[in-house]
Amino acid sequence: MTREVSPPMGRQLGAIAWNTFRAAIRSRVLHGIVVLAAALVLSSLAVGQLSVDNDARVIRDMGTSFISLTVVAVAIFSGVSLLQAEVQRKTIYTIVTKPVSRGLFIFGKFLGLALTLLVIEAVLGGVLLLLIAVRGDPFGVVLIQSLLLTLGEGLVVAAIATFFSSFSTPVTSGVVTFGLFVLGRLWEALHRYAETAGGEALQLVMPVAEVLLPDLTLGRADLEVAYLIPLHWSYVAYAAGYDLCYAGVALLLASLIFARRDFV
């Protein structure tokens, strides 16, 4: 029998991530969401018919938007219950009593959720690209770049949800995460408003808000997708780096809070 005092962290991380991913892919609710989202992506075909000579653009635009919304919705719903479900169902009792640090548990759970988001995006992105290919519409690398940016946005939202889930109820976590998602999407608009019409109070708050609020506008490339204008890969890398840093800090804070919790 293996008797290390500190078990290999990679094996533990992999086991937690795989178990989280396995729970997600065996969930009928998630199956339903993916089927519905795929149907919505396909529905862009019908909406595209209503436009004059712009059907290919409408399909790209609507398709990527539906994918983005689905990824964010799954990130919020799964993220807020990522830790709370373990606490409420008491499965946490058999995890934190094993030689697993609580921080590692959170990172493992998040990794499983990230894998789930990746698979969902791959499936829905595949449906969209197949639709474009079958119709013979023009294809651009920006579609792939947009999907990558959407995944980054999903990871940020999932990390925020996980952070709130480390100390709050799923409902509260969900509402606050959704609020931050909306503010994050309006990041540039808020910034402009503060510069032009905001009062002194807003001017004071904005520097703090700029640090705390996620800049989710980095993940949007609607115009580029609509007109098939490729993004520079350095921009994609910058956005990905930002997303990973933001998610990493959120998870680190979640780990610090979770490590101090008593499981009564």
Partner 1 sequence: MVVLKAAGLAKTYRIGFWRKKVVALRDATFDVRPNEVFGLIGPNGAGKTTTIKILTGLVTADAGEGSLLGRPLGTVGARHALGYLPEQPYFYEHLTAEELLDYYGALYGMDRPTRQRRAAELIEQVGLGHASDRPIRKFSKGMMQRAGLAQALIHDPELVILDEPKTGLDPIGRAQVDAIIRDLKAQGKAVFFASHILSDVEKVCDRVGIMVRGKVRDVGPLDKLLNAKVLEVEVLVEGLDEARRPEIEALGVTWERRGEEQVLLRAEAAPPAREALALAVRAGAAVRGYEERREHLEDLFLRMAKGQGDDA
Subset of residues 6 to 35 that bind partner 1, contact rule: CB under 8 A: 6-8, 11-12, 14-16, 19, 22-23, 26-27
Nearer to partner 1, 23 or 175 (CB): 23
Q: Which of 49, 51, 54, 91 binds partner 1 (CB under 8 A)?
A: 91
Closest distance to partner 1 from the beta carbon of 234 (Å): 39
Cβ at position 98, least distance to partner 1 in Å: 4
Q: Using an 8 Å Cβ cutoff, are 219 and 150 in contact?
A: yes
Give min distance, CB of 21 to partner 1, in A: 11
Take residue 200 and report the two structure tokens written for it. Answer: 């002194």
Query: Toward partner 1, which CB reaches closer, 99 or 207?
Result: 99
Residues in contact with 135: Cβ distance below 8 Å, sequence separation at least 6, in sequence order: 45, 56, 59
Site size toward partner 1 (CB under 8 A) is: 32
Q: Which residue, 200 or 262, is less far from partner 1 as judged by CB?
A: 262
Q: How far is the CB of 78 from partner 1 (least distance, A)?
A: 14
> Phi, psi at residue 3, to the nearest 5°?
-135, 45
CB of 83 to partner 1, least distance (A): 14
Nearer to partner 1 by C-beta: 54 or 172? 172
- Alpha-carbon distance 155 to 255, whole Å? 16
Residues numbered 71 to 90 that lie near partner 1 (CB under 8 A) are: 89-90
x-marked contacts with partner 1 along 92-121 as a string, rule CB under 8 A: -xxxxxxxxx--------------------
Q: Are 64 and 225 in contact (CB under 8 A)?
A: yes
The token pair that represents 44 in the structure block: 């862009």
Closest distance between partner 1 and the C-beta of residue 31, in Å?
13
User: Distance between CA 88 and CA 103 in Å, rounded?
Assistant: 19
Contact residues: partner 1, CB under 8 A: 1-2, 4-8, 11-12, 14-16, 19, 22-23, 26-27, 89-91, 93-101, 262-264
